[in-house]
């Protein structure tokens, strides 16, 4: 967003957003979203608004407001609540900074959310969508505004899904399994359970469990949308209100088609489990909850064991839908996280694992736009990488898979003299490095802690806020040069010490690191 003056906000501008005045506002408390009071606020907002949303859905599509519809829509509406509160707080910071007038587009065309990835893309990457939300909230506050009639189709995002051969095969196999297990269950009178993630669960168990009609493996739920992706809704700014806008965006025809398609009534379901690492997919979660009336049978686990780090989405979604949220302990059976740290494998000094170029920000802040996050993140990363002594260290950069072959990004960092990690598995990459620098607080610190890989954690606390229970240990990690929030401090430290000294410092503070790990996985 572009502030044309101290009190005038231009929501039609395509210029770079000037965020300093907003992000520095005392009222814009990013860390506050990890407090118990914020959690209470989310629950209150959800409880106050969900019935109206459900009524809107049932009337629009002529559906009965039964438990299955409620369970199906609850995870989706929680996303709306997270987005609503986040954007309201953003607008509050704007108002506190003295914004008194704004200009926006008179009409905007937007495609309702189609699936979980679509939500992330639009919340994280679509400036027009976020600007329209801000305009509606400011309008609600009685701020003076003027409208512009753009000749272009402002805000229209056309989403086209192209299925690969493998994706089509997965879809066919999934439907085959659904029918196979359902038919056999009725013939033999046996029950089965729902398994939502096959990647972290023994394939052998799944095969035998399916043959015995005990398991229903859902191979890939990204395919449960229809090919009809042209559902466009036009909003007139003068007439639309904020709540109605969210209602329309969060319940598309495609979503209801999926609900009807997978609302299978004649199967025996004894237990539904979400195995570690997949519950952050709304399609999966909604599918489970829509199948059962008794949610006590559903056990859901946090993604990657980060119980504390992600409660605003996953744990709350579980609690609000009536399922059981399971804390987990990562053990040797969770092979995904374990790395062969044989020193003979080492090929370079430092592996820097990056986040910053993905399409959307992590769900640590639901409504934080890609630009808001990326502006600060890249600024810090570029300073760090530009000033790091590359003659002293042999460094590799590892990007998320969706950006690993982006020519613009490759050219940018190649010009700084860095090598790029192309290993498919991060485990292999970690096995080849002496020092790990994870630059965001998600599952990456787990790899360092579980495998005792000497590391320096580097992230902005405002980007990845944690609950107050972490405050003391984060302060201690910083005092021991194990955690840095600012690139200047980190690069100065790295240029002064050696890889051996970093390793020695890691080993010296082993108890502190284990304590941090225990808090992350909530053991």
359: left (phi over 0), alpha (psi -120 to 50) or beta: alpha
d(CA 102, CA 97): 13
Q: How far is CA 429 from CA 32, 96, 166, 422, in A?
A: 35, 46, 26, 9
| Span 20-46, pLDDT tens digits | 556 566 666 666 666 778 888 889 999
Considering the entire predicted model, what is its pTM? 0.78
* Average pLDDT, integer, range 189-194: 72
CA dihedral 138, 139, 142, 148 (to 10 degrees): 110
| Span 266-301, pLDDT tens digits | 455 666 776 655 555 676 677 676 666 677 777 776
Q: With 0-12 CB in 10 A as exposed, 13-18 as middle and 19+ as buried, what is 27?
A: middle
Identify whether the C-beta of residue 395 lies closer than 8 Å to the C-beta of residue 388.
Answer: yes
* 349 membership: H or E segment, kind and range: strand 348-353
Backbone angles phi, psi at 348, to 5 degrees: -150, 165
d(CA 422, CA 432): 12
* 76 membership: H or E segment, kind and range: helix 67-96
The pLDDT confidence band at residue 513, using thresholds 50, 70 and 90, is very high
- Tell how strand 107-110 and strand 233-236 pair up: antiparallel
Q: With 0-12 CB in 10 A as exposed, 13-18 as middle and 19+ as buried, what is 503?
A: middle
* Average pLDDT, integer, range 310-335: 69
Give the per-residue pLDDT at 303: 60
Give the per-residue pLDDT at 226: 47
Identify whether the C-beta of residue 473 lies closer than 8 Å to the C-beta of residue 519.
Answer: yes
Give the per-residue pLDDT at 136: 94
98 DSSP 8-state letter: T
Q: Angle, nearest 10°, between helix axes 471-479 and 510-521?
A: 150
Q: Which has the closest alpha carbon to 21: 34, 37, 6, 36?
A: 6
Structure tokens at 235: 């909003």
d(CA 229, CA 118): 11
Among 213-217, 281-285, 480-484, which is the least confidently predicted range? 281-285
| Span 133-150, pLDDT tens digits | 989 999 999 999 998 887
Identify whether the C-beta of residue 108 lies closer than 8 Å to the C-beta of residue 237.
Answer: yes
What DSSP letter does each residue of 131-190 carry, written as one string? HHHHHHHHHHTT-EEEEE--SS-TT---------HHHHHHHHHHHHHHHHHHHHHHHHT-
> What are the counts of helices (DSSP H) followed by strands (DSSP E) for the chain?
19, 17
In the chain, the domains with their CATH numbers are: 2-160+229-261 (no CATH), 162-224+264-328 (no CATH), 335-521 (3.40.50.2000)
Q: How far is CA 115 from CA 60, 146, 278, in A?
A: 19, 33, 15
More confident of the two residues 250 and 365:
250
Give the per-residue pLDDT at 264: 56
């Amino acid at each position: 967003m572009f502030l044309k003056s101290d009190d005038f906000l231009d929501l039609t501008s395509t210029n770079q957003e000037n965020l300093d005045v907003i992000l520095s506002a005392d009222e814009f408390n990013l860390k506050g979203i990890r407090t118990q009071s914020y959690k209470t606020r989310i629950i209150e907002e959800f409880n106050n608004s969900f019935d109206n949303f459900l009524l809107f859905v049932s009337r629009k599509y002529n559906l009965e407001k039964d438990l299955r519809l409620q369970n199906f829509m609850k995870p989706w509406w929680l996303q709306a609540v997270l987005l609503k509160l986040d954007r309201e707080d953003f607008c509050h910071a704007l108002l506190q900074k003295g914004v008194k007038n704004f200009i926006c587009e008179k009409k905007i065309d937007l495609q309702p959310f189609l699936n979980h990835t679509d939500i992330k893309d639009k919340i994280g990457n679509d400036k027009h969508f976020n600007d329209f939300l801000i305009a509606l909230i400011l309008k609600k506050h009685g701020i003076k505004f003027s409208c512009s009639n753009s000749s272009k189709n402002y805000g229209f995002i056309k989403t086209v899904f192209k299925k690969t051969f493998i994706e089509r095969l997965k879809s066919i196999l999934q439907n085959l399994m659904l029918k196979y297990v359902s038919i056999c269950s009725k013939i033999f009178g046996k029950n089965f359970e729902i398994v939502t993630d096959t990647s972290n669960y023994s394939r052998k168990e799944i095969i035998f469990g399916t043959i015995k009609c005990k398991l229903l493996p859902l191979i890939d739920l990204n395919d449960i949308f229809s090919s009809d992706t042209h559902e466009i809704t036009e909003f007139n700014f003068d007439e639309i209100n904020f709540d109605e806008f969210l209602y329309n965006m969060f319940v598309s025809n495609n979503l209801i088609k999926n609900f009807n398609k997978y609302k299978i009534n004649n199967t025996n379901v004894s237990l539904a489990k979400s195995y570690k690492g997949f519950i952050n997919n709304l399609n999966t979660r909604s599918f489970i909850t829509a199948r059962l009336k008794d949610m006590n049978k559903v056990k859901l686990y946090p993604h990657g064991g980060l119980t504390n780090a992600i409660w605003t989405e996953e744990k709350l979604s579980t609690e609000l839908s009536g399922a059981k949220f399971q804390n987990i302990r990562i053990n040797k059976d969770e092979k995904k996280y374990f790395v062969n740290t044989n020193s003979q494998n080492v090929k370079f000094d430092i592996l820097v694992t990056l986040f910053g170029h993905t399409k959307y920000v992590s769900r640590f802040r639901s409504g934080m736009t890609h630009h808001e996050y990326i502006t600060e993140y890249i600024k810090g990363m570029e300073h760090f990488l530009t000033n790091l002594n590359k003659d002293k260290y042999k460094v590799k950069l590892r990007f998320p898979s969706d950006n690993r072959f982006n020519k613009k990004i490759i050219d940018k960092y190649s010009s700084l003299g860095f090598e790029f990690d192309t290993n498919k598995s991060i485990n292999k990459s970690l096995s080849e490095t002496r020092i790990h620098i994870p630059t965001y607080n998600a599952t990456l610190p787990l790899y360092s802690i579980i495998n005792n890989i000497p590391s320096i954690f580097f992230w902005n606390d405002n980007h990845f806020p944690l609950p107050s229970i972490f405050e003391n240990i984060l302060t201690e990690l910083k005092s021991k040069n194990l955690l840095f929030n600012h690139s200047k401090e980190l690069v100065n430290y790295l240029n002064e010490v050696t890889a051996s000294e970093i390793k020695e410092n890691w080993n010296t503070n082993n108890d502190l690191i284990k304590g941090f790990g225990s808090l992350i996985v909530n053991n």
